[in-house]
Structure 1
């Protein structure tokens, strides 16, 4: 349920009509009482420490020097946010608000005529946020008259006394609440401040609102209801409309497509590793042994796809079988060769004699280089350095394997159980040649679709997801994403590496404004205006640039 704000208005009861027996609806409809909505004045905003109203300034030139001069209207005649005449401030109904981390701060003043609030009444004001995709109610503002408040307190006292005495179950508690409490308290209520004058009640309202891709412009209106203890009610007439222009960094998004260089090679290599089990000391390929059936199907499937595709010629297919080091080296060499040739015969028999001339058979008696690499990177082996030193020093493979087994029995048991099976492999290497290509390499450009996705997310105000993609590019859009998430220090770091132009200078000014570095920020803003006079107009509408221009 939406949060609601509640103000106890008992102190106002003396100023209201004492007659509470008459119908609220009849009296208020006759008076056409209504709530009014307005932007904050300068004094009000400063009092609330929320002074976001932009100053209107114009760049003027004295010889070759630029300086800032305050003005009442913009050169094109656009309405100025406020105009102060003596001590009376007339506030317009349009204001720019800065976006930070996907949120904006909306604040305004609600003015109520005192005749709306009697001792026996409650006023509920609901600000409505209008966006292109629908209307969103904001937190309620609830003002209670003194007698109305006492009635609520009495009802709750009766309800709590009943529960304490009779201890009903959940259903009984709900029924008792409906019976005793005529006007429930708003949930999550909290006390806020108001200002009272002779004829009006003025309330400062502020709330943070999340933005989305439809949030370029936000409109605020009020709806309200006056309810009295006699059950009569009065719906407030429609209020004025306030407009907020969301000042975001999205106008600085670089929408130009980004391309990357792609190198197309004439010659391509495809490699694949498989594990075929054999009976001890045997070279026959048995497809029912272990996972051989699945491994053989994997080999045949890949070979079929490569040979039948139309983009490449297949120059050669190299089949290399290798063994683990246990046993005599000469026997392992004959075993690896026999298994490689047996596997070739199996593939020719099952796939067709067309691959007989493409297949080249090789074998590795004992895969010592791979064994050493696996020992070097396996944290389970605590004596890795000593084992590698032994393997490097001893050249005879049979003596090397025997010394490894004798000096490191515990580690050798781990090698034999975990690592040796990974050395009994069959590797395939497919050497392909692209059809119709004369040069060895061709350089072409292709659209960077990953970057385009990041820009799309940025424009949809999904800043965190956009930054996840754009963080690798470190360009202007990366800066925009950082600024949109209030990562101002990082944005300045990236901007310092980029060439200076009007946009980068303006973005530096924004980051400096947020970090409180006003003098530095003013210099960046003036430089942006020197390079592009359109930045002057943008600055007049940007609340964060106004922070730089106050002094």
Structure 2
């Protein structure tokens, strides 16, 4: 009878809990989400009347000579006395959109989460998730968890039950014989039948056998509590099962709760602050609040999504000067292009073999260079200087002869290629009716080739030795360069066996090369130089980065220009002093004067900030509206009523 009464009690209890949670569906409640107001303090702006640099009353003279007295007091229409103005913060704001500033590459969002009293129950937990939309991307902020007292106690009770379950599991590092065997009887058996056994000391010997044929291993296995091993393994395998059995509502990580305000009507309000890094999609942000209610039994009720609130993010990028920037460029009539090729020859031979070493690759490089130069639409070839050099191995006279003959072989190779290239280009022009007028047939280019040789390139060898980081005894090798006779010099170097071996294997191959020097001039150009301008692509790339709010990257490019846009990058990163130095040298515009007002406000110089702001309005009245977007200026507008002319 007692069993059935207990079951009946549980059914009634669960039914009561479910009904309690299900009543929410009748009221269809939702969480409230609204903007937090007057967050200038988040940007380190001193609004106190006793701030160090605050001027309570001062005079401003506009460009027409008219004087205006600025103060934070107004004339009482009844008594005629000047009285202080006190601006009261708004209590309730229904606007779904708010203007907020971006400072130092960071946007700070402040909003109020309101929980109606109907959602407050000691047995419930409210789980709220703010989700920010920025372009196509979404960002989940840390969740807000509000737990009732009974819910919290039930949660803690569940964890205690689970901890008790975990303590019932035998750890893996226990002594196996001590825990999992009938140790007293095992010891007694071994003492009587296998006194030589050292299994209790951790040394097992499966060859030990009793007089009646029982091995040491069989004896130990006989006294093992297999039921205990099986039970422990089962408990380890079912840890997750029992966690969810005992813990209906696990603790959630990554939660946040800044402050709690209890409102007069029984609702709760939570002030939530979150900083995010800016990017190119940060001009418009949207925020929603998702939530659910859980009871102590793990039952959930999904709340309606809150209304969407929006943020219009103001930044200094709106002041960017987008004027295309040009840079001066000097165009020379003459130009030079060079390349090097490493053609290998057999010992004592001068004919070119394309299958030897890397010759095939090097020859392709030569042909590509020739074709690129000769088919270029901008430049015309004046001459091609072909310089062949060799290493110092062997006699100088032989090297001189080989260098000359090898240079001739390479020249002939080039001439043969150019001849074939001539026919190819002529065929292409005829096929497409290309109107390019050639000053001379390509077949005549061969006469422009000038052949030179460097039998033994000692100058380059010296440079390679000095620059090599592996070679040892460089001093001894360089001492040999003082020997005037080149053959004797080379023999002296060969006396250093290890170093000379390294020279032949690593350094000498770099001396066997052919240098191509193409002397060119621009088609149709008569003067030696022309001065022109072109778009400064580097600077314009900096502007793109600045518009995308990648301030560090933009400043890295704009830093050397020290112009208005450089100042914007500095201001956006909080480099106020650097920005001010640059702005002082910039032409006077409404944008410049307005930014000077921002910098003055950041320094706490209210008088100068107000004067700069009023001056910027004179130059461009739209600055009056811009001032409401920046906390540095909007606080001054409210304090001194600087935009009263908007309503006159």
Specify the alignment match of 2:512 in structure 1.
Answer: 424
Alignment of 1:208 onto 2:275: yes
More strand as a share of residues: 1
Structural mapping, 1:180-259, within 5 Å: 180-189=246-255, 192-196=258-262, 199-229=266-296, 236=303, 239=306, 242-259=309-326
Residue 351 of structure 2 is aligned to residue 284 of structure 1? yes
**Residue 176 and residue 277 in structure 1: after superposition, are their counterparts in 2 closer, same or farther (change >3 A)?**
same
> Which secondary structure does the structure 1 equivalent of 2:340 belong to?
strand
Aligned-partner Cα distance in 1 for 2:586–2:109: 34
CA change 1:170–1:321 in 2 (3 A) is: farther
Deviates more, 1:505-514 or 1:290-299: 505-514
Pairs within 5 Å for 1:448-459: 448-459=536-547
Q: Residue 244 of structure 1: SS of its match in structure 2? A: strand
> Aligned with 1:325: secondary structure?
coil
CA distance in 1, matches of 2:563, 2:307: 43
Question: Are the structure 2 counterparts of residues 367 and 290 from structure 1 closer, same or farther at C-alpha, using a change threshold of 3 Å?
Answer: same
Q: Distance in 1 between matches of 2:600 and 2:608?
A: 10
The whole-number CA distance in structure 2 between the counterparts of 1:352 and 1:169 is 88
Structure 1 contact 24–228 (Cα < 8 Å) conserved: no
Which runs of 5 or more structure 2 residues have no equivalent in the other structure? 1-14, 49-55, 75-84, 170-231, 421-442, 641-648
Partner of 2:572: 484
Q: What displacement does 1:476 show?
A: 3.4
Q: What's the CA shift string for 1:479-512, capped at 9, x where partnerless?
A: 4344434455654565566556554454455567
Further displaced range: 395-404 or 423-432: 395-404
SS at match of 2:346: coil
Q: How far, CA to CA, are the matches of 2:137 and 2:361 in structure 1?
A: 57
Over 3 Å counting, the alpha-carbon distance change for 1:416 and 1:526 in structure 2 is farther
Indicate the residue corresponding to 1:16 in structure 2: none
Give the structure 2 partner of residue 434 of structure 1: 522
Cα distance change, pair 301–33 in 1 and its aligned pair in 2 (3 A): closer
> What's the TM-score, normalizing by structure 2?
0.66
C-alpha distance 235-350 of structure 1, shift in aligned 2 (>3 A): closer
Query: Secondary structure of the equivalent of 1:23?
Result: helix
Which residue is 1:362 aligned to? 452
Q: Secondary structure at the match of 1:202?
A: strand
Q: Is the 8 A contact 1:509 1:522 kept in 2?
A: no
- Counterparts in 2 of 1:371 and 1:212: CA distance versus 1, 3 Å: same
How far off is 1:286 after superposition? 2.8
Q: Is the 8 A contact 2:107 2:278 kept in 1?
A: yes
1:518 aligns with 2:604: yes
Measured after TM superposition, the shift of residue 427 of structure 1 is 0.9
Identify which of 218, 235, 239 aligns with 1:173. Answer: 239
Does 2:370 match 1:296?
A: no
Residue 302 of structure 1: CA displacement?
2.0
Contact 2:593 2:615 in 1 (8 A): no
Rg larger in structure? 2
1:314 to 381, 389, 392: 381
| 1:295/1:221 CA distance change after superposition, 3 Å | closer
Q: 1:134 to 1:68 in 2, by over 3 A?
A: farther
CA 1:139 to 1:522, structure 2 compared with 1: closer, same or farther past 3 Å? Answer: farther
Match of 2:321, SS state, is coil
CA separation in 2, counterparts of 1:508 and 1:473?
A: 19
Distance in 2 separating the partners of 1:331 and 1:453: 57
User: Aligned-pair distance for 1:38?
Assistant: 4.1
Q: Which moved more, 1:154-163 or 1:143-152?
A: 154-163
TM-score, scaled relative to structure 1: 0.77
Deviations 1:308-359 (A, max 9, x none): 3443332222211112234443333222212211222333345538353232
Instruction: Check 1:303–1:229 CA distance in 2 against 1; reply closer, same or farther (3 A cut).
Output: same
Change in CA separation of 1:221 and 1:494 when aligned onto 2, cut-off 3 Å: same
Among 98, 112, 126, the alignment partner of 1:109 is 112
After TM superposition, give the deviation of residue 275 of structure 1 in Å: 1.1
- Counterpart in 1 of 2:398? 331
**In the superposition, relative to structure 1, how do residues 191 and 452 fare at CA in structure 2: closer, same or farther (>3 Å)?**
closer
Question: Given that residues 217 and 246 in structure 1 are in contact (C-alpha distance below 8 angstroms), is that contact kept between their aligned partners in structure 2?
Answer: yes
Q: What is the deviation of 1:206?
A: 1.1
SS in 2 for 1:286: coil
> Structure 1 regions of 5+ residues with no counterpart?
1-18, 73-82
Q: What SS does the corresponding residue of 1:442 show, helix, strand or coil?
A: strand
Helix, strand or coil at the partner of 2:268:
strand
Deviation of 1:542 after TM superposition, in Å, equals 0.5
- The number of residues matched between the two structures is 514
Contact 1:505/1:525, CA 8 A, preserved across alignment? no
Q: Distance in 1 between matches of 2:563 and 2:30?
A: 52
Q: CA–CA distance in 1 between the matches of 2:400 and 2:282?
A: 73
Root mean square deviation of aligned Cα: 4.3
How far residue 363 of structure 1 moved from its aligned partner, in angstroms, is 0.9
* Conserved? CA contact 1:502–1:527, under 8 Å: no
Q: Is the 8 A contact 2:600 2:608 kept in 1?
A: no
CA deviation vs aligned residue, 1:86-123 (integer Å, no higher than 9, x gap): 79755574544332454311112333343421211222
Counterpart contact for 2:596–2:609, Cα < 8 Å: yes
Structure 2 CA distance for partners of 1:257 and 1:70, relative to 1, 3 Å: farther
